[in-house]
Every structure is written in structure tokens, then in C-alpha cells.
Structure 1
């Protein structure tokens, strides 16, 4: 039985992974959002089943504030502003009430706690700001996804809810996203609207995802209203992108390398993220000419391209990606690079049939991590170094524990704040083989 939502007073004990903080109510753990360690707050319970091992809640009033609490830069994502209006905030900026430097300290604390608890590894962690980050931590998102309300307005979801809140700006996004003024338009008939801005020039791309049963001409009518952007339609079932006007892809530039990324393809969303991560990867792996490398979960080839340059014509790179569309992007981005083998498929299946020795392996798995099977296959390939790019400290810690059980050690660890005002972070780890390993 679920009780009516209740409001309780709690003292926040510590931060927790996932954008939460930990408090206790009559001995039961409550995961609280929009609070800070040491604060005394009033919390509206959003999940409170009597037989549950923990509850969840949102801060609605601060009774004793942390010195690190600041005014949220995005009112629609501010829990206190929403509560005063009898509403809930949009998700996506759950750390906006925390001073930027404190956000990074909290993230470092959470990352270190995950390493200790899951991987049994003690490590001092520092979270680095991206080069050129703005003092307010805004204007970094080059990609944004919006839901659509019943009356056709752009909206975002409330955390862990189907409820929608109409939005009229996106402070985390780069100026080019906000300049389109998409929230002024009627997107009736659409299920979702994505917008992306490339770093290599050209117009932004607006991707329309129609609701089931929407007539094709409706998307065309919407496209005609959008000025200053390319517009395409995504067939979600087939994964195909169809042009309405302009082009269906974006040009990205990372150092000397140019990339083409289709509208539905994955790309790092922070404007400096690709540069930061490729720099960390190349510095850590120290790939030599003539070596054999693997780039697993390779996407459109963000890391494959510089790895191919590093190994040269005498080396090789195995690039593996599960998405057919993103794999097509990788083939375009590496056209003419004969030392690169681009394989579309599951990483475990590709590695099972790969019989060439590997000197270096880089993996950038999805949020769930690589898992026991893939970790074992990578170790069995006996590389001299493994680089691991991760967007989730918990899944990274689980995989790290698997590597350490086979004698591998965590060498370099760098954690980057590529998602200011959210709980997310990105990391690069360099793993070294057991001493004496060939």
C-alpha cells in the first residue's frame, strides 16, 4: 500500500551516487534530491512504500542551508521554486543549487566512494573542469532532447516521472540551440524533438521524432517554420534519418580531425568534451607506430581516428560498434584508412572471433559498463595497456574490480566535469597488466 505523499523534516548525512543525498527517517534511508550535506530540509516523499528498504523524496524547503547553496541558474529546474508553485522541477540540472566548485568536490567524493565500496580501491579523486569552462557552468550542451506536450510545446520530464513541464529556454545549452527559439513553435504530432550543433560549422540540426499515426506532411509543415537549421525526421523503428531540409548530419572538428555524425548518432555533448577525452586517451595510451589497437564501443570513430593516425600504415585498429547507423558514420570518417577494420556488432561476439594480437585496447562502454565476459576477453588478448573511458563511476568500479581480480592495476585516473549542474561525470582510466605479463 502506498501512502499519500508526506512531508518530513530531515538532516542530510552525505551525497550519494545518482544525484541523491542520504538522510534517515525513523531508521529508514531516504534518498533526497536537491539537498546538500549537513542541511536541514523539508522533504516531500515521492516513493514511500511501507515495505520498501528505502524511500525517495524531493527537497521543498531549506530550514538550515549549506554555505555552498546558491541560487539555481535555471528556475524551471529549481526544486524550491517549483515547490513554491505547487509543481515539480524538470530533471537535468539537479546540481544547480550547488556552487560549481562544490559540485566538483561532491562528484569527486562520490567517485571515490564508488571505488572504495565496489572495487575495494582507495583513491584520491579530483574532478577537473573542462578547459575554457564558463564561470557559471552554463552554455556547454551541444545536444538537447525535448519531449512534446499535448498542445505541441517543448517540454522536459520530471525526474522518474512521465509528467511534463513546458520549457522556454535551456541554459545548459550553447547559444545556437537557444537562438532557434523552438519553444515558440507548435510541434503537435511529434513525440520528441532533438537539436544538435556541430563544432565544425554549418547550421544546427533539428531532428523530429513523430508520434505514432502522425501524417508525414505534418513534419514537413513544422520544418517550414524552423529558420536557421537543417531539419530531418527520425524513423525510430528503423533507425533511419530522412531529410526535410538542409542536411541530415553534423560536421565535428576535434584537433586536426574532421568527423561526420548523423542526426541520430552518438557524440559527446559538452562542447569541449571530444577534445578533452581524446587528449586524455592519447596521453595515457602512448600508442606507437606499427602497434595493433582495438577501439571498443567506438561510436562514430572519435577515438578510432586519432588511434589510426598513431599506429600508422604499418599498424592496425579494430573498431567495434553495435549501432548500424553510427558504424556507417565511422566508415565515412575513416574512409581510405586501410589499417582500420570497422566491424558493426556486439563487442563480445567480435572479440570471440578476433585472432590478431592486440597491443592496446580502448573501451568506452555504455552506462551499464562492459561486464565480466568482455573484460575477460580483453585480458585474454594480453595488451600492454588498457584505456577505459566511462560515464558512470559505479559501472566503472564494477569492471575495475573484474580487471583487478585478474591482476591488473589502476594506473592513471582522470575525472572530468563534462556535465556541470548535473550529477554526471566522465572519466579516463589507464590500466596496467600484472608484473611479468608478456
Structure 2
């Protein structure tokens, strides 16, 4: 798509600019000749030469910082050889030290809360144990035209071949990067909590994705004081320390009364349901709602010793239409798009005393918090965690109470 008539298309143009504030998505904002430029590989306060990588016309374009003329404090050399303009799109902040990364993520959460929910709040992003490298326990790769595995470039189908990934758990790529694959095929590898490796190959045939298990298949994880056996490619926190850390926060804020009622929505295999059930005790009730059939089966097996947990297999917005009970506490961990108005309204109809919201996207969290506020539930506590170092992603946990 070309720029509008009378407006020059900047694609490929190199611009000298001052880098402005950080924005959601792993880039910073600059303004040049009346247009917004979203700049990657830069830090606020820097002066850079940036080459425009995408210009679809209108009021903004995208660019990569290719030369740093004035560096900002916190800039470092990337730890990955393929982190840079036109290369792997998996990491956003390899050029920033960990404290700077966390500060930028905190600023993003603050901006989203203020802009979308009208909440002015200082946010400090907490580090998880283990450091910024060697944390990613699940990796999805794609084979290029030559069959070599790699990762796609940012906003591109171009495959950047790799032989290692510094943010991945050591050993996670064994058996993947040392061979050739069917061009266009994808490979997903998982290294579980027991140190066992799992590998499957994914291909798309007539628009449908098919998988072939090549190694392993059943992962073993440990969190919230129990062992979990689950589909190695199903949902589990990617950072090894995340599941335990998040379960501890949920336990602290949920505080289900003995004999009480709790809901665990988007329950996965029941990590939070286990915490809620222990608090409620045998005389309590916990409703776990999950749409993934395999996750429900794994969850039922994992929590067979907790009969107070009742499982419902289905979409949250549909299941809650038929629920006729008032919970004391609701915990929800929705996908990246958030819970949405329908789910929020179903939750508040149950009049819980407390809501604990686990969010992987600050914009979605802020939108849902605004909807909750319209029904009398307000943000009481908020913690943010750097569960995805080197990337722009940040995990937040919010506690809401009725006014």
C-alpha cells in the first residue's frame, strides 16, 4: 500500500531523530515532520539514525534504529547475535540492561492503566529468579526455504536461521537446530521441570494444522506444592519460576474463607484451582472453567485428591450463563485479548468479595479494569513481573474489591 496522494512514502528512508517515550509493543515513539515514527532497537532519550521499515501511509510509520548517535544510560550490547534490525523478531529489548527493561515495562503498564482505565499508579516490575537469559522453556521455530530452523523477523515471514537462542533454557533446542526440516514446517520444543525434552513437528495442510510428536509428550512440572503431569505443548507458564510465583500471589490475595466458594476461570490444568481448594477446604467448592479438553482431562487427574474442585469444560462466557451460585472469590487468567465485557459482567453478577486477575497484556487488563470499575469493583493491589525478559511482554496480577 502506497502513501496517500501528495504524501511521500518513507519506506527505506533513513531519518535522524530524537527518540521519545516507550510505547506498548517493544518500540519507542518519535515525531518527524508531523508524523509518528515507531522506532525499534532504540531507547528513550537517544538520538539515532533510523531506517523506515514499514510505511502504509497515514499518520505513522515504523523504523529500526541502525546507528546510535547519542546513547541513553542502560544501553548494552545485545547478548544474541541475531538481535537487531531486520533480524530475529523474538526479542525487543536485547539492547537494554535488565533494570532498564523493567523500568520501560513499568512505564508501559502505567500508561495503559492511565489511558484506558483512568488509573494513575506507579508500577514497579519485579524480576523473577534466574536472570534475563536461559529462561524460555518452550520454543517454537520455523524452517526456512533451505530447511534450516530459525525465527521470523519482526512483522515478516522471513526466517532468520539460528543455532542457539540465549533466552532459551539450555538444552531446549537440542535435536532441532542440528538438522534440516521440511521448508515452512514448524517445530515446538519444551524442556519441562524434570529436565525432560519434548518435541513435535507442525505442518499446515489445507488450512488445518497437524502435529506429529517426535519426542516425549507428557511434561512434569512442580508448583504450588504438587507435581503436575500435562500435555507438554499445552498451557503452562514459560518461565520456570513463574507458576510458583503467581500461585503464591493468588493465594495471598484470594484468601478464600474456609467452606467458601471460589471460581477459577480460564483454569488451564488447575494451578490456581489447587490453591483455592486448599484454602476453601473439603467443605468448600471451587469451580474450574477451561475450554481446552486436554487441559481439563489433565487437571482432573492432577486434582483427583481435591473433590471440592468441580470442572466445567467450555468457554467461560458460555459456562457462566448456567452457574447459579455466588462466589466469595473469583480468579481469572484470560488469554492475551483479555476477558471482555460479557465475562466481566457475568463475574460481577455473582457479587464476589474479591477478584484476582492474572494478565499477560497490560492493555487488555486496563480495558477490563475499566469495565469492572463501572460495576463498582476497584483496583486494590497490583504487582507486575518480568516473566519474559528481553521481550516487551510483562505479566500483571491485580486484586479488585467492591467499593
- Report if the CA contact (8 A) 2:190-2:233 is conserved: no
- Report if the CA contact (8 A) 1:202-1:250 is conserved: no
Indicate how the Cα distance of structure 1 residues 120 and 57 shifts in structure 2: closer, same or farther if over 3 A, else same. Answer: same
Cα deviation, residue 334, structure 1: 1.8
Instruction: Choose the corresponding residue for 2:28, options 21, 27, 46.
Output: 21
**Alignment correspondent of 1:207:** 200
Using the alignment, how far apart are the partners of 1:309 and 1:400 within structure 2?
A: 28
1:11 aligns with 2:18: yes
Deviations 1:12-62 (A, max 9, x none): 111001111000110111111111001111111122233x22111111111
Cα deviation, residue 270, structure 1: 0.5
Cα deviation, residue 190, structure 1: 6.5
Using the alignment, how far apart are the partners of 2:222 and 2:22 within structure 1?
A: 37
1:93 aligns with 2:98: no
TM norm structure 1: 0.87
1:381 aligns with 2:350: yes
CA RMSD of aligned residues (A): 1.6
**Alignment correspondent of 2:162:** 167
1:108 aligns with 2:106: yes
**Alignment correspondent of 2:130:** 133
Instruction: Choose the corresponding residue for 1:311, options 268, 280, 283.
Output: 280
Using the alignment, how far apart are the partners of 1:90 and 1:243 within structure 2?
A: 26
**Alignment correspondent of 1:119:** 117
Deviations 1:347-375 (A, max 9, x none): 11111100022111000011100111111
Instruction: Choose the corresponding residue for 2:326, options 354, 357, 360.
Output: 357
- Report if the CA contact (8 A) 1:142-1:173 is conserved: yes
Q: Which runs of 4+ in 1 moved over 6 A?
A: none
Cα deviation, residue 124, structure 1: 1.1
Q: Higher helix proportion, which one?
A: 1
Using the alignment, how far apart are the partners of 2:327 and 2:166 within structure 1?
A: 44
**Alignment correspondent of 2:178:** 184
Cα deviation, residue 182, structure 1: 2.2
Indicate how the Cα distance of structure 1 residues 244 and 12 shifts in structure 2: closer, same or farther if over 3 A, else same. Answer: closer
Instruction: Choose the corresponding residue for 1:45, options 52, 60, 75.
Output: 52
Using the alignment, how far apart are the partners of 2:228 and 2:209 within structure 1?
A: 23
Indicate how the Cα distance of structure 1 residues 406 and 139 shifts in structure 2: closer, same or farther if over 3 A, else same. Answer: same
* SS of 2:247 mapped into structure 1: helix
Say how many residue pairs are matched: 395
Moved more, 143-152 or 111-120: 143-152
**Alignment correspondent of 2:209:** 236
**Alignment correspondent of 1:282:** 251
**Alignment correspondent of 1:84:** none
TM norm structure 2: 0.94
* SS of 1:45 mapped into structure 2: strand
1:197 aligns with 2:191: yes
Using the alignment, how far apart are the partners of 1:354 and 1:187 within structure 2?
A: 48
